[in-house]
Structure 1
């Protein structure tokens, strides 16, 4: 099949992205249909642009790891997710860069995101989780677990990690929601949110720089990640530029609270749908790591992907040919539900072997914060199993509601009792 030759004006109606989520905010059924009928097909974006949608694991892995697919969408006529005001237009953002610029930034900061660096935070994350559960238990049953635990946990972690004042979390939560939305608000509102967020982070970084200058030589003002990023250099003694540093911090704030919080909520619901699951984890805490990996595979909150453009003609493993200049959307959630890679992919199986999902991506743009996110999720699930093994939903499951129109699909509330 020559996918590049497909024309939305002449081919059958392939639908409009974003697709309707499946049951319990799960993987859209549209991906499964396309995976069988047309694994590489045309889809219309909110901007009106037509791009190719890739739905098989091997093809998706190829799109994200092949250097001939580019994240540089800033040239005239490039496909856009949104007509205007999208973060894909920011040239300083790491997610919008190709090598060698992208490799240079990763090289400078990667030391702050190693498994060892993430493990350093486990005791503090455990302390935060237990403190939140103490407050929730003291307030009494029932409670909204999303508000009382799932969101404040990663918010507190990212605030401590970056040295961000916790009182400012409502601000960056509002900015993040606006920037992640595919339907709410105008382009001007998204641009305003981006400007306000940028100004806030610029001030935060400047405050850290001023603090660094008042401390003894060689000792940072605060033991947080912004100070490490300010001091970070590569082997050529090159530092992050101001714009690069600010974009790195913005990206960490958004990903560090929004995505992780939704996975905690969705993962907890996945366990509550299986009576006795939390009690089993309490009895066998060694199962937590495998459970978290299955949560990550099944409960990935982002149903889409960042657009890429083919810099030259590429043949995918399925045999489809993507022509030069063609935009491609290759969602990780579709890869994680490919039955050719994961037997019975809709089943939630914490004992699943060889669970090499693509939730954190693959290739050059593999998620920088993956190690920290894993630690946070392991701590959150372990704490719930240890402290509240009898946790259960406080409403019928069909009364739960989900956010729509965003790059992130999450619960609006998770009422529980114990």
Structure 2
């Protein structure tokens, strides 16, 4: 099967309508499901666009996250977080399994559920403030971002007044724009110094929060996280713990406003919030890319395409979630789907550690918005909504609403 298309295209591709799955993924899925693209670094890699191929790339032991050897494909020409050997996202088994085994107890469904009362308290307080101020409001800045930021601050014992700092750092570290290279490097250094200081302070003054749990965590062989592993874990939690969740809250609210019948159904049956959130996650995944992988040997994918030894491949979950072979009428927003096993949190060994906590946050947020804002509607025409560009995360710049 062909692995090229007439115009190989430069990644990242522009998003589809409402910041959705890029049209390039949909077009290639039928004509060239595994095709060549050019990364911001100038390197050429393959792009997988079908569910079964994407699942194979992320679950097969024949693909590696080790991109630190000379000549390995790179997302960016300059240094990137994909090069840090102590980062969980860059590890292969058995090192990856060892690290997850040490920390997984802090991320169980039971551990996440313990946070539901506090998350609910935060959500209600933010909506109280928004309602007291009156309409219109930017739901993104007034609710969608402050909620997960406050949660991660409490979870990790991070001073809430520092949140503007790590929001700035995470925005730069997620950028794919070459012009941000120097700023991105400075942000990485500043962020690392901040987290190192945070951990040192926790060692001096334990707070019984997640950082303390990670400091004390060990596996059955009594092995602890190394200092670099711990610091990388905390940095990853801070970024993933607010950036993606906040964007899903904004995008999910917009999806419900665009489908008023579904919003009315949720208000009439709030116990269906979990199903609604799962469909929001499937359709409104904010990351349009994926972590690069390299084939350790020649691999034939389910579509018939062959990935050569040493060849890089990008297998985005947003494309998998839109494959009609797996999800009938994938562009339809349907919380009543009978089988909605999306892959928005990943699949395989690198499945998102924070998935359980994110689900609790999203369920609380969506339920609270539906219940507390019965007259919610956009304060501007849909055509005036703008989307962030040049980042690994595709989110709304603002979500102006009234009620």
**Shorter-chain TM-score range:** over 0.9
Whole-angstrom distance in 2 between the partners of 1:298 and 1:230: 36
Residue 174 of structure 1: aligned partner:
168
Query: What do you get for the CA RMSD once the two structures are aligned?
Result: 1.0
1:130 paired residue among 102, 124, 141: 124
Aligned mates of 1:117, 1:16 — CA distance in 2: 41
Could you say which residue in structure 1 is the equivalent of 2:59? 65
Q: How does 1:294-373 map to 2 (within 5 A)?
A: 294-373=279-358
Distance across 2 between alignment mates of 1:85 and 1:272: 40
Matched, 1:269 2:263: no
Pair 1:38 & 2:23 matched: no
**382, 395, 398: which one aligns with 1:397:** 382
Deviations 1:282-340 (A, max 9, x none): 22011100000000000000001110000011111111111100000000000000000
Gapped regions of structure 1 (runs ≥ 5): 212-220
- Relative to structure 1, is the Cα distance of residues 84 and 331 closer, same or farther in structure 2, using a 3 angstrom cutoff? same
Of the candidates 235, 257, 262, which is equivalent to residue 220 of structure 2? 235
Normalised by the length of structure 2, the TM-score is: 0.98
Distance 2:372 2:167 in 1: 28
The count of aligned residue pairs is: 403
> For residues 53 and 330 of structure 1, what CA distance do their matches in structure 2 show?
6
Is 1:92 aligned to 2:86, yes or no? yes
Q: Is the 8 A contact 1:85 1:188 kept in 2?
A: no
State the shift of 1:2 in Å.
Answer: 6.8
Q: Is 1:278 matched up with 2:263? A: yes
Change in 2 beyond 3 A, CA 1:276/1:139: farther
Q: Deviations over 1:106-126 (max 9, x none)?
A: 000000000000000000000
- Residue 111 of structure 2 is aligned to residue 117 of structure 1: yes
Which TM-score applies when normalising by structure 1?
0.95
Equivalent pair of 2:2/2:35 in contact (CA under 8 Å): no
Partners of 2:264 and 2:342 in 1: how far apart? 26
1:164 is displaced (CA, Å) by: 0.4
**Secondary structure of 1:13's match?**
coil
- The residue aligned with 1:218 is none
Structure 2 partner of 1:205: 199
Give the C-alpha shift of residue 188 in structure 1.
Answer: 2.5
Contact residue 278 and residue 389 of structure 1 kept, 8 A: no
